[in-house]
Structure 1
Amino acid sequence: MHFFSQNFDYEHPWAHVIIGMWHKYPNQYCSHVVSVDVVDRSVDPETGIIRTERILGCKQKAPAWIVRLFGGSEDAFVREISFVDPATQNATITSVNLSLSQFATCFERIRYSPNTLQPNQTFFKQTAEVEARMTLWRTAADGLERWLVQRFEQNAHLGKVGFTDVLRRLWEEREQLQLQAAH
């Protein structure tokens, strides 16, 4: 198993980041995400926690040898489940690949929470565990896991850049609406 992890702060309050979370796709930096379908959404009447399950459709440019070896296509699907708790101002997202999961799995966890030291910033923590399911060929499995983590890291960087752009646009729209309302 191989791992990926990153932490940083978004320069926006938690509520703004959570609104942005629902507008993350599509964006020009994450063009590999081509569809987002909400499968289920519910609100716990006692806690107010919002649970959302989505399926993300992706176009992955996998090397031809991987497609030949494992079959499939460049179409890939990811199951994402999020919990947003307005009372504690915590949001957690887990996701796992549905496509080619018999060969490898990527389990991702994301958490958004207010930065307690900087009131208008939101702390972001992301981890991923990648595991190839090729026990007979440990060397090949290790190489595949390293490649998948490298690919995940590239997409995570694009995700950060894209989400930052989405947040900037939402913030500008918010400020413009406030100006219009003031006049």
Structure 2
Amino acid sequence: MHYFSQLFHYEHPWSHVVIGMWHKYPNPHCTHVQTIDVLDRSVDPQTGIIRTERVLGCKQKAPGWIVKFFGGSEDAFVREISFVNPATQEATITSVNLSLSQFATCYENIRYSPTTDGRTMFHQTAEIQRFEQNAHLGKP
């Protein structure tokens, strides 16, 4: 297992950063993201929390021989679920790869929250779990 974490402060208010989050894809600087499909979107009438579930379609940047070796394709898909709470000004995004998950799974968590000085804190973690070829046999 590999673990990654980073913390960053945007010099913009939370509302601007969250609007930018929704307009992140597609854009000419991230051409690997080809499609964004919204599977579900709902608003909790009690809390006002907006829940959105999407699937992002990407073109992998791995060399062609690696893709063929693992039996995949250059198309990759990621499932993303986000929660935006306007009352507390918290936005969280969780994502997991759907493609090649039989070899490795990447669980990513992102949180946007306001700071007392009007900036926005971005906290990202990712955990990559590899699956050994004999894992299904119960061997270490």
| TM-score, scaled to structure 2 | 0.91
Equivalent of 1:126 in 118, 124, 127: 124
For the residues of structure 2 that align with 1:25 and 1:2, how far apart are their CA atoms? 27
After TM superposition, give the deviation of residue 115 of structure 1 in Å. 1.5
Tell me how far 1:64 sits from its aligned partner: 3.4
Consecutive unaligned residues of structure 1, counting only runs of 5 or more, are: 138-183
Q: Aligned pairs, how many? A: 135
Q: Give the whole-Å Cα distance in 2 for the aligned partners of 1:23 and 1:126.
A: 18
Return the offset for 1:111: 0.1
For the pair shown, the structure with the greater C-alpha radius of gyration is: 1
CA distance in 2, matches of 1:135, 1:74: 22
**Which position in structure 1 is the counterpart of 2:70?**
70
Computed over aligned residues only, the root mean square deviation of the Cα atoms, in angstroms, reads: 1.4
Shift of 1:72: 1.1
Q: Does 1:30 align with 2:30?
A: yes
Deviations along 1:57-109, one digit per CA (max 9) or x if unpaired, are 00011133431331111100000000000010000000000111111100000
Farther off after superposition, 62-71 or 121-130: 62-71
Provide the C-alpha distance between the structure 2 equivalents of 1:37 and 1:31, rounded to a whole number of angstroms: 16
Identity across matched positions, percent:
74
1:8-87 → structure 2 map (5 Å cutoff): 8-87=8-87
Counterpart of 2:138? none
In structure 2, how many angstroms separate the alpha carbons of the residues matched to 1:40 and 1:89?
A: 21
* Structure 2 unaligned regions, length at least 5: 136-140
Q: Distance in 1 between matches of 2:64 and 2:129?
A: 21
Distance 1:53 1:136 in 2: 33
Deviations 1:96-137 (A, max 9, x none): 001111111000000000012x21x11000110011111549
> Partners in 1 of 2:61 and 2:133 — Cα distance?
25
Of Structure 1 and Structure 2, the greater strand share is in 2
TM-score (norm: length of structure 1)? 0.70
1:80 maps to amino acid: E
> Aligned equivalents of 1:64 and 1:132: distance in 2?
21
